[in-house]
Amino acid sequence: MSGLENCKPMNTWFKKLDTRPIVISGPSVVESEEQLLNTARELKKVDQVKIFRAGVWKPQTATKTFGDRGLDILQWLNQVKQETGLLTMVEVASPKHVEMCLRHNVDILWIGARTTSNPFSIQELASALQGMNVPVMIKNPLNPDINLWIGALEQINKAGISRMAAIHCGFYPFEQTSLRNIPKWEIPIELKSRFHNLPMICDPSHIAGDKQHIQQISQKALDLNMDGLMIESHFKPEEALSELEETLSPAELDEVLRGLVCRLNSIDDLGENQLEQYRNQIDSVDAQLIELLAQRMNIVEEIGEYKSQKNMTILQLERWEKVREKGVELGKSLGLSEKFTTQLLRMIHKEAILKQNKVMNR
């Protein structure tokens, strides 16, 4: 296991990050000072938005349209921070970006999917981040390769970054689908189950590629107990120069957030221990099931000894058929499906045959 155990929960990163979900929002790409400030001012009115994201260096669009205006934009972002109190977050793809962001007091950095896909770039970024006390979020790589994602997280963590989160933005599809990226939820679930302490953010905008799916994807992320959402917004989305279809206005974002159901995660949240009582019952039933199965296998072994002495075959199909029929009938009367009981008994029978085989070959 890696050292990701030292990852800190997001509510300890900054005092402001005390809500759930934590919402990160802002324009896909910075177009002008007016666009940046107006979007931030509107977002400030949306309660759950705590972090203002801005694409400063967006290779596909920004340099083509605006040239490298990184310095100007970083100064505008500082203004956003002072005026609105929102935390600021910028994508970095090179050591130069890291250095500029840190010099201009950007609060949080993120590493994009293309960069995560390239271990050489990650290595360079890790060197640049060595000893820097800045939170870093890391998007999944373009292709659904969990090891590439883990490799990037580990490298950045080894550089001394413990305020770290993963961002799930879906994976590049090789054919046309209804969503822009394929979510492949099993990958962030697997990451979370390997690294319990690693905060996880979902990026519904990039998964959806279209406004209409954002609500449903956000809900799914919350139901999977993710810590936050990163959703693109623009004060005039219809005029956005990048990611037009998926960009929400701050008011639309507010509506999406209001429609989300934030379910409880633990018994502590529930304030009573009803769930714990149910779980105790399940634990006790499970223990009985296992004990009974062990008891059954002991009898099976004795029958094995008997068959060995009497020179009988292990497999007795007629008897097995009766066992199955009786079991299915009883199961049905108690509300268990025929398929389930049959599968369960088949597994038990298979193990019984193995046990008797061992006895015979002793």
Residue from 51, 55, 93 nearest 73 by CA: 55
The angle at the Cα of 60, spanning 107 to 66, to the nearest 5 degrees, equals 75
Residues 271-310: x where in contact with ligand ISJ by CB under 6 A, - otherwise, as a string: -----------------------------x--x-------
**Does the footprint of ligand ISJ cover residue 349 (CB under 6 A)?**
yes
**Does the footprint of ligand ISJ cover residue 319 (CB under 6 A)?**
yes
Q: Closer to ligand ISJ at the Cβ: 282 or 293? A: 293
- Minimum Å gap between C-beta 329 and ligand ISJ is 15
Among 323, 336, 344, 360, binds ligand ISJ (CB under 6 A): 323
The span of 118-126, 262-270, 285-293, 349-357 binding ligand ISJ (CB under 6 A) equals: 349-357
Q: Closer to ligand ISJ at the Cβ: 260 or 303? A: 303
* Residues linked to residue 248 through DSSP beta bridges, in sequence order: 233
Bridge-based pairing state of the strands 200-202 and 49-54: unpaired
Among 118, 216, 225, 316, binds ligand ISJ (CB under 6 A): 316
The span of 92-100, 218-226, 245-253, 348-356 binding ligand ISJ (CB under 6 A) equals: 348-356
Q: Closer to ligand ISJ at the Cβ: 165 or 300? A: 300
Cβ-closest position to ligand ISJ: 352
**Does the footprint of ligand ISJ cover residue 194 (CB under 6 A)?**
no
Q: Closer to ligand ISJ at the Cβ: 71 or 292? A: 292
CB-CB contact of 248 with 256 (8 Å): yes
Cα 252 from Cα 168, distance rounded (Å)? 22
- Minimum Å gap between C-beta 317 and ligand ISJ is 7
- Minimum Å gap between C-beta 334 and ligand ISJ is 19
Q: Closer to ligand ISJ at the Cβ: 248 or 300? A: 300
Among 285, 287, 315, 347, binds ligand ISJ (CB under 6 A): 315
**Does the footprint of ligand ISJ cover residue 342 (CB under 6 A)?**
no
- Minimum Å gap between C-beta 339 and ligand ISJ is 19
**Does the footprint of ligand ISJ cover residue 172 (CB under 6 A)?**
no
CB-CB contact of 216 with 40 (8 Å): no
Q: Closer to ligand ISJ at the Cβ: 39 or 356? A: 356
Cα 48 from Cα 11, distance rounded (Å)? 13
| Binding stretches for ligand ISJ (CB under 6 A) | 300, 303, 315-316, 319-320, 323, 349, 352, 356
